Amino acid sequence: MTRFALTLEFDGTPFFGLQRQKDGPSVQQAVEEAAFRILGEDVRLHSAGRTDTGVHALAMRSHMDIAKDIAPFRLMEALNAHLRPDPIAVTHCEIVPDDWHARFSCTGRSYVYRIANRRAPLTLEKDRLWQLGTPLDHEAMHRAAQALVGLHDFTTFRSVHCQSDSPVKTLDRLDVERARTQWGEEVRIHAAARSFLHHQVRSMVGCLALVGMGRWREEQVAEALEAKDRQALGLNAPPHGLYFVEATYPRD
């Protein structure tokens, strides 16, 4: 068996998430079925993280073990051909050691959440950003976000369906910036950590958006964190503005 590491880019709009689901299409299912058509063998895709319905990925790291002798470039090209028309692309493929694991070898994960801060309806970017017409104070959002950086109990920002053993995580980065694009204003929230709880990024973004709109005081984000209670959460941001950006590994 040879272990192949893949880098996947995908639009999560038509999928029920990355992981296989009983009741709808997933990125994992699409890649595994494409691999079966190419190789004639059942393979399982393992990935650095999981994504919810509608969440996108710029560079999700995954791996699969394959018995057939095939070159990485040929595998990448064949997968891309068989994945059409699904909005999934394999952007890189390489052979890795047998003890390398896309999930368990990963030492860091980063996300970006994009908010379209304009009143006009989205057309080209529909389903790829969360649209908020109310002007956002991104500087207040950034100041409030710093209360969440570091080692904390993130129970407030954790989905009731989260399967993590502990709500305690170390958040390495949570930065908010405003970007001017050709179509309007965009507020971006960058988050990085070794690992995240289910819905953690979306929950943090939702509360920061309340600060940006002036509906929450900056201090309320820290107060929500301190409450360690999901009922203290102000807002859970929708999934379609969230992008998995990067997975990092020791050799990186």
Q: Catalytic residue numbers? A: 52
What is d(CA 249, CA 6) in angstroms, rounded to the nearest whole number?
14
